[in-house]
């Protein structure tokens, strides 16, 4: 009798804010392996904001997710069967297995599957601080912001999987680090546990004037580097505090993920303050991943990089957990535990 595999498909495209009706849970048979293929049992599924963009047909840096196909997503798990010489049953691996319990992977494709060492780094961390979110943080900070000791680095969505790593990497480079997060609990986590110098609660400062004043108090010497995850009013307020020749790494625009326009209030500040504003997609810089992962893995293994995980239980919980992520309900990295 064939082994069964539960999957979550993209059932429809959201017109604005996504909902549970956009997803569909199905169960299918697993096909026998062909030469060069590996069967992976997923232990954890990563949920990330970029997935919202893939649900839409709007023009973007990547092709939209096709309807009635398994939702895209990073996964870590264990090889249960292999017909490829480089992989053995029991190997811990990371890949893009999607929202499903199992994946049949063509291991001949470069980068499709990577073995990982779990002796000093937990398996789940390869989806967070020592995975794509961590490398995203590392790249935007080191290659675009290029912080110098004593400078002030501002991070929006500071309690999330990317922002939390940005701040800790900047602190390791002797910067003053200020976060923006939603709510007193998240701000306390950012300062007390992650070691940021200050954190501004955007829920307490919902308009431009209030946010600008809060940033003036938190960043008395201005802002030299901004790791931007949010856009909208938050970015407008940050730009008012940017120092001359400041650098902005454009990573995400959470405020516009549901199709709302994201106008920039004062674009003239880019010229007046001679700002560098650069967007980036971390998957386009694979040559630097080994360097990033070495630093991130070393810091995590020796306790210098702290992480938190919000973990939903079971594949069926993935849609609601994803919708919660888009509303900021998670603290740290959002995962789904599948075993």
CATH number, residue 102: 3.90.180.10
User: Tell me, what's the pLDDT at 2?
Assistant: 62
For strands 309-313 and 333-337, give the pairing.
parallel
- If asked whether residues 37 and 147 sit together in one domain, one would say no
Q: Residue 154: enclosing H or E segment and its boundaries?
A: strand 152-156
Q: Are residues 117 and 79 both part of a single domain? A: yes
Distance of CA 68 to the CA centre of its chain: 24
Please indicate, yes or no, if residue 96 is contained in any of the structural domains.
yes
> Does an H or E element contain 82, and which?
strand 75-82
For residue 43, what are the CA distances in angstroms to 93, 101, 311? 10, 8, 12
Residues 122 and 136 in one domain: no
Query: Distance from first CA to last CA of the chain, Å, rounded?
Result: 22
> For residue range 155-181, what is the model confidence (pLDDT) as tens digits?
999 999 999 999 999 999 999 999 999
Do both 115 and 205 map to the same domain?
no
Give, to the nearest 10 degrees, the angle between helix 289-301 and helix 132-139. 110
Same domain, 146 and 262: yes
Note whether residue 39 is domain-resident: yes
Question: pLDDT tens for residues 67-116?
Answer: 999 999 999 999 999 999 999 999 999 999 999 999 999 999 988 999 99
Whole-number average pLDDT of the chain: 95
Residue of 283, 275, 205 lying closest to 240 (CA atoms): 275
Quote the pLDDT of residue 258. Answer: 67
CATH number for the domain spanning 238: value is 3.40.50.720
By CB atoms closer than 10 A (0-12, 13-18, 19+), residue 100 is buried
Instruction: Please report whether residue 167 resides in a domain.
Output: yes
Q: Identify which of 90, 103, 109 has the alpha carbon closest to the alpha carbon of residue 44.
A: 103
124/241 same-domain check: no
The number of beta carbons lying within 10 Å of the beta carbon of residue 304 is: 12
Residues 40 and 153 in one domain: no
Q: What is the pTM of this model?
A: 0.93
Domain-located, residue 95: yes
Q: Confidence band (pLDDT; 50, 70, 90) for 63?
A: confident
Say if residue 233 is in the same domain as residue 324.
no
What tokens appear for 172 in the block?
């390791």
| Structural domain span for residue 318 | 4-128+308-337
Give domain status of residue 294, yes or no. Answer: no
Is residue 212 one of the residues assigned to a domain?
yes
Same domain, 274 and 324: no
- Please check whether residues 58 and 100 belong to one and the same domain: yes
Q: Is the residue at 313 inside a domain?
A: yes
How confident is the model over 176-219, as pLDDT tens digits? 999 999 999 999 999 999 999 999 999 999 899 999 999 999 99
When divided into structural domains, the chain yields a total of 2
pLDDT band at 1 (very low <50, low <70, confident <90, very high): very low
Residues 18 and 64 in one domain: yes
Instruction: Please tell me whether residues 195 and 254 are part of one structural domain.
Output: yes
> Which conformational region is residue 245 in: left (phi greater than 0), alpha (psi within -120 to 50 degrees), or beta?
left
pLDDT surpasses 90 at 129: yes
**Tens digits of residue pLDDT in 247-273:** 999 999 887 766 677 889 999 999 999
Task: Give the pLDDT confidence score for residue 61 in this predicted structure.
Answer: 75
The model's confidence at residue 60, banded by pLDDT at 50, 70 and 90, is confident
Q: For residue 292, is it within any domain?
A: no
């Amino acid at each position: 009798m064939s082994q069964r595999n539960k999957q979550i498909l993209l059932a429809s495209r959201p017109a604005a804010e996504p909902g549970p009706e956009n997803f569909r849970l199905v169960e299918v048979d697993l096909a026998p392996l062909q030469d060069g293929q590996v069967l992976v049992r997923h232990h954890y599924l990563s949920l990330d904001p970029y997935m919202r963009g893939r649900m839409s047909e709007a023009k973007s840096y990547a092709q939209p997710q096709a309807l009635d196909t398994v939702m895209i997503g990073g996964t870590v798990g264990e090889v249960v069967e292999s017909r490829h010489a480089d992989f053995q049953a029991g190997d811990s691996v990371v890949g893009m297995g999607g929202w499903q319990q199992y994946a049949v992977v063509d291991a001949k494709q470069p980068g499709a599957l990577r073995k990982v060492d779990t002796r000093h780094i937990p398996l789940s961390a390869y989806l967070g601080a020592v995975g794509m979110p961590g490398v995203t943080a590392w790249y935007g900070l080191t290659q675009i912001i290029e912080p110098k000791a004593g400078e002030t680095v501002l991070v929006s969505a500071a309690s999330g999987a990317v922002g939390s790593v940005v701040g800790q990497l900047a602190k390791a480079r002797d910067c003053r680090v200020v976060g923006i997060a939603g709510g007193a609990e998240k701000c306390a986590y950012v300062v007390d546990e992650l070691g940021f110098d200050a954190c501004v609660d955007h829920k307490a400062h919902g308009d431009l004037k209030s946010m600008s004043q809060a940033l003036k108090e938190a960043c008395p010497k201005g802002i030299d580097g901004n790791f931007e995850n949010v856009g909208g009013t938050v970015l407008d307020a940050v730009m008012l505090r940017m120092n001359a020749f400041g650098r902005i790494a454009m990573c995400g625009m959470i405020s516009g993920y549901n199709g709302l326009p994201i106008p920039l209030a004062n674009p003239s500040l880019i010229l007046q303050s001679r700002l560098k504003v650069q967007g980036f997609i971390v998957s386009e810089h694979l040559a630097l991943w080994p360097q990033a992962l070495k630093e991130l893995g070393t810091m995590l293994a020796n306790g210098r990089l702290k992480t938190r995980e919000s973990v939903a239980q079971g594949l069926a919980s993935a849609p609601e957990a994803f919708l919660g992520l888009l509303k900021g309900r998670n603290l740290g990295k959002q995962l789904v535990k599948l075993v």
